[in-house]
Amino acid sequence: MNQLQNFTKGFIKENPVFVLLLGMCPTLGVTTSAVNCLGMGLATTFVLVMSNLVVSVVKSQIPDKVRIPAFIIIIASFVTIVELTMQAYVPALFDSLGLFIPLIVVNCLVLGRAEAFASKNNIGSSLIDGLGMGLGFSFALTLLGGLREILGSGAFFGFKFLPGDNMLVFVLAPGAFIVLGYLIALINKLRKA
C-alpha cells in the first residue's frame, strides 16, 4: 500500500468513528462543542503518532507475552505528556475534557493501531498511519461536535450566530446518538454510491 493510501484510509475507507466505530466514549462524551472535539482529536492524534513511532522502533525488543501491557505503558506515557501540557497551556480545554483525556490510554483506536499496524510495519509507515487515523478521528469528532453545537446552541467554535435557544436535545446526550446515527448513515450511503 502506498503512503498516500495509508494516510487517507483514516479519513475515508477506515474512518475510526464513521466506519470502524472505534473510540465511541470520547465521540459521544466530548462532542458538545467543536472546540472540545478539535482538542480531543488533536490530543489523540499526538498520542497515536508518537505511540506508533515508539512501538515501531521497539517492536523487536518486546516479548510476545508482555506486548499489550508494554504498548499500554507506551501509550500512557504520551497521554501523560498531553495531559500535563494541556493542563499547563490550555487549562479551560483541560477542564472541559476532564476525564476523557486519561481515557485516551484505553481508547481501542490507539491500542488497535499499535497492535495491528505499528508492531508489524516500519517507522515511516507507522507514522503515516498514526497521522492519518488521528486526523480522520479529529475530523469525525469535529464534524460531529460542530453539527451538535450548530443545531443545539446556534454557535460554531463558540461563536453564536443564531439567536435564542435552538434544539437543546442536540446539546444533551441523546443528541450525540442522533447526529452520529445520521452521519454514519450518510457516510455509508456515500461509500456505496
Per-residue model confidence (pLDDT) at position 171: 85
> Residue 159: what are its φ and ψ, rounded to 5°?
-90, 110
How many domains does one find in the chain? 1
pTM for the model:
0.91
Per-residue model confidence (pLDDT) at position 1: 53
Per-residue model confidence (pLDDT) at position 115: 93
**Residues contacting 172, CB < 8 A, separation 6+:** 152
Taking the C-alpha atoms of residue 74 and residue 71, their distance in angstroms, rounded to an integer, is 5
Sign of the CA dihedral running 35, 36, 39, 42: negative
Per-residue model confidence (pLDDT) at position 181: 93
For residue 159, is it left (φ>0), alpha (ψ between -120 and 50) or beta? beta
Lookup: cell for 162: 443564531
For the chain, the farthest-separated pair of C-alpha atoms sits apart, in whole angstroms, at 59
Confirm if 138 and 110 have CB atoms less than 8 A apart: no
> Residue 7: what are its φ and ψ, rounded to 5°?
-75, -45
Residue carrying the nine cell digits 502506498: 2
Low-confidence ranges of the chain (pLDDT < 70): 1
pLDDT digits (tens, 9 = 90+) for 118-170: 999 999 999 999 999 999 999 999 999 999 999 988 889 988 887 777 788 88
Write out the residue range of the structural domain in which residue 65 sits: 3-192
